[in-house]
Amino acid sequence: MDALHAAGIRFAEVLQSGPPWLEKFWISVTSLADPKCVFTICFPLAYFLDRKVGVSVLWIGLVSEWLNVVLKWFLFGERPFWWVHESGFASKELVTLRQFPVSCETGPGDPSGHCMITGAALWPLVTALTALASRRSRSLAVKLSPFGAYALLLLAVGLSRVFVLAHFPHQVVGGILAGAALGWGLQGRTPATRTLGFFVAAALALLLGSLALHSLVIAAGIDIDW
């Protein structure tokens, strides 16, 4: 893993060596792609366009947020900002990295929550836009444009997380793949016809489930809050 982490640090150095305007771009992307934006921006927008799509975005966002926390408890995952010092890498080799206000994230980093949750929650919106484009145009480029924008967005989000030293590249790739797979898998299982009470009960079940799982892992002697 140390070799993989070292390669990630070098990649982050390359990203940070870009022009100043690109720095502002990466920081803006990582801020706008915060998982909470799924609930404050993406869900209301999707719900306005189509109720079923909106509920799907909300449901998948909820499940992927929970699953990301659970995965991090078991996969752990170092954070570049901390690893470069704690591992002694910075004392052995010359490292030219800059710190940003969003660099000092704590807790496990694998997989990337920004990539996983955003990728999962946007999947139903992207597929809905693709279906709409297919009905309106015969052009293959127009039909594929929503998924093209989706892929470019996730790539930009992933690079921005590496740029600010919040994640290693392999954590970003894992988050993107997990998010796309989760979005694809859950889209057809959205409980769109359920009442509000179902979603309240589901949220409560996820909360209690995570607390119980946390207690069991701690009781087993695994320090997931390292």
Contacts 24+ apart (CB under 8 A), 87-95: 87/2, 87/5, 89/2, 89/5, 89/6, 89/9, 95/9, 95/13
Rounded to an integer, the average pLDDT of 131-146 is 85
Assigned domain for 161 exists: yes
Mean pLDDT of the chain: 89
Q: What is the pTM of this model?
A: 0.90
Q: Give just the sign of the alpha carbon dihedral 102, 106, 109, 114.
A: negative
Res 180: pLDDT: 95
Catalogue the active-site residues: 114, 167
Res 103: pLDDT: 79
Residue 189 Cα distances to 45, 58, 194, 204, angstroms:
21, 13, 12, 19
Res 88: pLDDT: 83
Domain count, the chain: 1
Res 101: pLDDT: 83
Assigned domain for 149 exists: yes
Assigned domain for 220 exists: no
Q: Is the pLDDT of residue 217 over 90?
A: no
pLDDT band (50, 70, 90) for residue 181: very high
Assigned domain for 56 exists: yes
Assigned domain for 19 exists: yes
Res 136: pLDDT: 83
Question: At a CB cut-off of 8 Å and minimum separation 6, what does 74 contact?
Answer: none
The string of pLDDT tens digits covering residues 8-41 is 999 999 999 888 889 899 999 998 888 899 989 9
In terms of residue numbers, what domain contains 34?
1-194
| E strands, 6-158, in order | none
Rounded to an integer, the average pLDDT of 212-221 is 88
Give percent above pLDDT 90 in the chain. Answer: 45
The string of pLDDT tens digits covering residues 57-112 is 999 999 999 999 999 988 888 899 888 888 888 788 888 888 888 877 778 889 99
Q: What is the largest CA-CA distance in the chain?
A: 59
Res 153: pLDDT: 95
Assigned domain for 215 exists: no
Res 20: pLDDT: 85
Instruction: State how far the Cα of 103 lies from the Cα of 214, in Å rounded to an integer.
Output: 26
Assigned domain for 210 exists: no
Assigned domain for 218 exists: no
Q: Is the pLDDT of residue 207 over 80?
A: yes
pLDDT band (50, 70, 90) for residue 184: very high
The dihedrals phi and psi of 138, each to the nearest 5 degrees, come to -95, -5
Stated as kind and residue range, the H or E segment containing 220 is none
